[in-house]
Structure formats: C-alpha cells, structure tokens
Amino acid sequence: MRRKDREMSIEFGLAVIDQASYGVVSMIDAEGHPYGIPLSIVRDGPTLYFHSAKEGKKVEIFEKNPQVSVAFIGAVNVPEHYTDAELDAIALDESRLALLTSKVFTTEYESAVVIGIVKLVEDAATKINAMRLICGKFTPTKMPYFEMAIASGLDHTNVYQIEIQEIRAKRKKYDQHGEEMKWGRMD
C-alpha cells in the first residue's frame, strides 16, 4: 500500500466488510479482460459467501480462473471544514492554497480489499448456512420465510465461498479539528 499512513488494521477491514452493502468481485476472463461485478456478500470468520445463478459469465470465469479481488467500500463523506468566508480567505492567501486540495476537494472514506480463491460450495449444509447468513444480513425481517425459500430455490442457486488469503484496509478521515487521522488513529 502506497499510503501507509492511511493503512488500517485487519480488524478494521473485517468491520468494513461486515457493514458494506456489497462488494465488487473482480476477475480476469479467459481472454485476459477484466470483469467486475457488485454482489451481496456476507462474511463468516475468514470466509466470504455469495450466491449466484448456475450459469453466466462469472460462473464461466470462476471455473477457469478462480483468483479474485473483492473491494468493499464503507462510509464515504465529503468533509465541510471551512465556511464560505474561510474559503474566500484561503483563496486570497497563496501560502494556504494547498488546503483546497488536501481538505476541501477531498473525500473521507473507508475501504477493504480482499484477495482470495473462489470455490463452489458443494456441501448442502454449508450452502444452506451460507444462504441463511446472506439472507440474515440483507433481508432480516423476512427470515420467517427462509426455510420455504430454501426448499423451493436452493437447487437453482450456486453458492460460492472465498477464503480470505489477504486483506488490506484503508481509511481517510478527519477529526473534529480538521486534522487527518493517520496511522490507524481511531479517536
């Protein structure tokens, strides 16, 4: 990671994964072209799970090249450090113009990137548990109907797992004084 001052812990990265609405799975197809797709992903320990149709482009790619990268984006915010009057004052002072790029035209963010190998889940119990985790994360109020949905749809669904081989987490965030919180600082 180039910006070591923004690198965060593995635990931070796992929290980003758990809170993210989706992850973008990126892979390389048989012709060497990049392919990325956003998916609803859930984590169980060191394993990520997602579901899929039984055929399609990603299914074909996974069979030939199961190596993937998954990017998760957590909280994103455009900070408001200065009033319009303060920005006018900065604009008049050449020695302070760098503040425009570092603190005005910027974005706070948190992210996690995982590297791993995709595997089709074959075991029925593992497949059902993964679907329970996925549905529990994304449709928690509908769980009373889960068993019925599984009974009617599991045979028509692929479930995949990715064992996390590597995880990198990164964050850019400012404190209440407008100073960037670097080197894993949390408060």
Per residue in 166-183, pLDDT (tens digit) is 999 999 988 888 888 888
Q: Which residue has the higher pLDDT, 81 or 118?
A: 118
Residue 145 CB: number of other CB atoms within 10 A? 11
Residue span of the structural domain in which 164 resides: 4-76+107-172
- Is the pLDDT at 40 greater than 90? The verdict is yes
The whole-number average pLDDT for the span 43-53 is: 97
- Is the pLDDT at 87 greater than 80? The verdict is yes
Q: What is the mean pLDDT of the chain?
A: 94
Asked if residue 153 belongs to a domain, the reply is yes
The whole-number average pLDDT for the span 63-80 is: 95
- Is the pLDDT at 3 greater than 90? The verdict is no
Cα distance between residue 120 and residue 135, in whole Å: 18
Q: What CATH number should be reported for the domain holding residue 118?
A: 2.30.110.10
pLDDT at residue number 5: 82
pLDDT at residue number 186: 81
Cα distance between residue 101 and residue 104, in whole Å: 6
Asked if residue 164 belongs to a domain, the reply is yes
Asked if residue 142 belongs to a domain, the reply is yes
* Tokens describing residue 104: 């005005």
Cα distance between residue 11 and residue 18, in whole Å: 11
H/E stretch holding 187 reads none
CB 41 within 8 A of CB 22: yes
Q: Which residue has the higher pLDDT, 88 or 7?
A: 88
pLDDT-based confidence at 101, cuts 50/70/90?
confident
Looking at the 3D structure of the chain, how many domains does it have?
Answer: 1
pLDDT at residue number 7: 82
- Is the pLDDT at 1 greater than 80? The verdict is no
Asked if residue 40 belongs to a domain, the reply is yes
Q: Which of 24-28, 32-36, 86-90 has the lowest mean pLDDT?
A: 86-90
Cα distance between residue 172 and residue 107, in whole Å: 8
- Is the pLDDT at 63 greater than 90? The verdict is yes
Asked if residue 183 belongs to a domain, the reply is no
- Is the pLDDT at 41 greater than 80? The verdict is yes
Asked if residue 89 belongs to a domain, the reply is no
pLDDT-based confidence at 133, cuts 50/70/90?
very high
